[in-house]
């Protein structure tokens, strides 16, 4: 039986000049490898390598540019570390090349909606597939945050994409779902969704959550000026929220600062172990 207090830790490695919290830091493959080693030493079981920023308003990169950023990094990590690599991409061509270079998970925040070739590519590849809830690209996602019942609609839209993926020949045991916090959701909708994450269990699939450093956490710390909330403060908020969400039996959590979340998980686990010995 899997231990629900021990979700997989997916450490974020954004190889981009413009990602919200770590943009520009890991463009050099040697520097990226150093970060991956650190995330691994802190307890990450997966490194999620991404080459396209999805922050609100971000401009899209070409698949060629995306691949030029991430493939050297994936190859460097595969050669040096024994850790599972995930590729954060919405492009089928990039997914194919990344898996060939050593990635074992394709993390597609668009859940197959951005690239019509994605499901065919995944069907062909030997990898897990993270299917995220998404409604549109960063330049227009804020206007797409219209829901009458966010949790119900997220579950229904995920179910639709899962059905399409399965119809394309991807077996269910390869699929992980993600509620897509921050993607076409405003602050209130993100909290509503976090509060009702148990409803995702209806899908009968493992769940990955990516709350790390996101605006709704910063808003809880400073409603007047969320943008001013520092990354260390956002990391504490991420760790606390993760600890609270462990009751949801998550498959994994995607975080920038692995150490703080790993520590939070260790504390919850210790308390649970103590309670079980009483
Ligand atoms: N969020 C971002 C990028 N990739 N992948 C998954 N599966 N889930 C997420 O919530 C998610 C993601 C955006 O965050 P970043 O630009 O700060 O890394």
Cβ neighbors of 99 (< 8 A, separation 6 or more) are 87, 106, 125, 126, 127
> Model confidence over 132-141: pLDDT tens digits?
999 988 888 8
Centroid of ligand 1 to alpha carbon of 210 (angstroms)? 6
| Residue 214 is among the residues annotated as catalytic for this protein | yes
pTM of the model: 0.96
Per-residue confidence at 204, pLDDT binned at 50, 70, 90?
Answer: very high
Task: Report the mean per-residue pLDDT for the chain.
Answer: 94
Question: Model confidence over 100-111: pLDDT tens digits?
Answer: 999 999 999 999
- pLDDT of 1 > 60? The answer is no
Query: Is the beta carbon of 106 within 6 A of some atom in ligand 1?
Result: no
Selected catalytic residue, list 96, 135, 214, 234: 214
What is the tally of helices (H) and strands (E) in the chain?
9, 8
What's phi and psi for 10, nearest 5 deg?
A: -105, 115
Which residue is closest in CA terms to ligand 1's atom 16?
19
Residue 32 lies in a domain: yes
CB contact set of 78 (below 8 Å; sequence gap of 6+): 85, 101, 102
Residue 218 φ then ψ, to 5°: -60, -35
Domain assignment of residue 2, yes or no = no
Sign of CA dihedral 233, 32, 112, 57: positive
Whether residue 208 has its Cβ less than 6 Å from ligand 1: yes
Q: Cα of 7 to ligand 1 centre, how many Å?
A: 17
216 lines ligand 1 (CB under 6 A): no
Nearest Cα neighbor of 194 from 205, 181, 204, 207 is 181
Q: Is the CB–ligand 1 distance for residue 132 below 6 Å?
A: yes
- Summarize pLDDT for 71-94 with one digit per residue, the tens: 999 999 999 999 999 999 999 999
For 18-27, 165-174, 204-213, which range has the lowest pLDDT when averaged over its residues? 18-27
Residue 1, domain member (yes or no): no
**278 is annotated as an active-site residue:** no
Contact 74, 101 (CB under 8 A): yes
Q: How far is the CA of 30 from the centre of ligand 1 (A)?
A: 23
Residue 47 lies in a domain: yes
Look up residue 267 and give its two tokens: 């504390």
Is 234 domain-assigned?
yes
Q: Is the pLDDT of residue 253 over 90?
A: yes
Contacts within 8 Å (CB) and 24+ apart, 166-173: 168/119, 168/120, 168/122, 168/123, 169/119, 169/123, 170/119, 170/122, 170/123, 170/129, 172/204, 172/205
Say how many domains are in the chain.
Answer: 1
CATH classification at residue 51: 3.20.20.20
Give the DSSP H/E element, type plus range, for residue 132: strand 128-132
Question: Would residue 70 count as lying in a domain?
Answer: yes
Q: For 220-231, write each residue's pLDDT tens digit.
A: 999 999 999 999
Confidence bin at 122 (pLDDT 50/70/90):
very high
pLDDT confidence of 19, banded at 50, 70, 90? Answer: confident
Q: Pocket of ligand 1, candidates 8, 23, 95, 109: which has the most ligand atoms within 8 Å of its Cβ, to mutate?
A: 109
Please report, to the nearest 10 degrees, the dihedral formed by the alpha carbons of residues 47, 50, 55, 61 taken in order: 180
CA distances from 121 to 111, 129, 145 (A): 13, 11, 29
Q: Among 236, 246, 14, which Cα is nearest to 107's?
A: 14
Handedness of CA 40, 44, 45, 48 (dihedral sign): negative
Task: Determine, yes or no, domain membership for 87.
Answer: yes
Pocket flag, ligand 1, residue 12 (CB < 6 Å): yes
For residue 2, is pLDDT > 70?
Answer: no
What whole-number distance in Å separates Cα of residue 197 and Cα of residue 157?
A: 15
Residue 207 is classified by DSSP as B
d(CA 151, CA 148): 9
Report how far ligand 1's centroid is from the alpha carbon of 244 (Å).
20
Residue-number span of the structural domain to which 46 is assigned: 8-277
Give SS3 for 227.
helix
Ligand 1 centroid to residue 82 C-alpha, Å: 23
- Closest Cα to atom 10 of ligand 1: 210
Residue with tokens 């954004």: 14
pLDDT band at 21 (very low <50, low <70, confident <90, very high): confident
Tokens of 42: 């802190």
φ/ψ of 274, rounded to 5, equals: -60, -45
In a domain, residue 34? The reply is yes
82 bridge partner residues: none
Tell me the pLDDT tens digit for each residue of 35-47. Answer: 999 999 999 999 9
Give the Cβ contact number of residue 95 at 10 Å: 27
**Tokens for 272?**
């649970």
Quick check: CB of 16 below 6 Å from ligand 1? no
Query: Which pLDDT belongs to residue 142?
Result: 86
């Amino acid at each position: 039986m899997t231990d629900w207090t021990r979700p997989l830790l997916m450490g974020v490695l954004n190889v981009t000049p413009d990602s919200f919290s770590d943009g520009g830091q890991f463009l050099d493959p040697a520097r990226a490898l150093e970060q991956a080693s650190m995330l691994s030493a802190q307890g990450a079981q997966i490194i999620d390598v991404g080459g396209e920023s999805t922050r609100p308003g971000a401009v899209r990169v070409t698949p060629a540019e995306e691949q030029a950023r991430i493939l050297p990094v994936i190859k460097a990590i595969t050669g040096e570390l024994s850790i599972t690599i995930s590729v954060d991409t919405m492009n089928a061509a990039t997914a194919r090349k990344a898996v060939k270079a050593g990635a074992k998970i394709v993390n597609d925040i668009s859940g197959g909606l951005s690239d019509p070739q994605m499901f065919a590519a995944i069907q062909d590849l030997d990898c897990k597939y993270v299917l995220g809830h998404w409604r549109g690209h960063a330049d227009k996602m804020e206007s797409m945050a219209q829901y009458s019942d966010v949790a119900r609609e997220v579950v229904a839209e995920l179910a639709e994409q899962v059905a399409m993926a399965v119809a394309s020949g991807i077996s269910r045991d390869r699929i992980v779902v993600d509620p897509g916090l921050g993607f076409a959701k405003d602050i209130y909708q993100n909290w509503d969704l976090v509060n009702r994450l148990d409803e995702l269990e209806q899908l009968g699939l493992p769940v990955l959550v990516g709350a790390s450093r996101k605006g709704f956490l910063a808003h809880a710390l400073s409603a007047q000026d969320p943008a001013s909330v520092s990354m260390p403060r956002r990391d504490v908020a991420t760790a606390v929220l993760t600890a609270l969400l462990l009751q949801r039996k998550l498959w994994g959590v995607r975080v920038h600062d692995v150490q703080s979340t790993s520590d939070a998980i260790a504390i919850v686990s210790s308390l649970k172990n103590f309670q079980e010995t009483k």
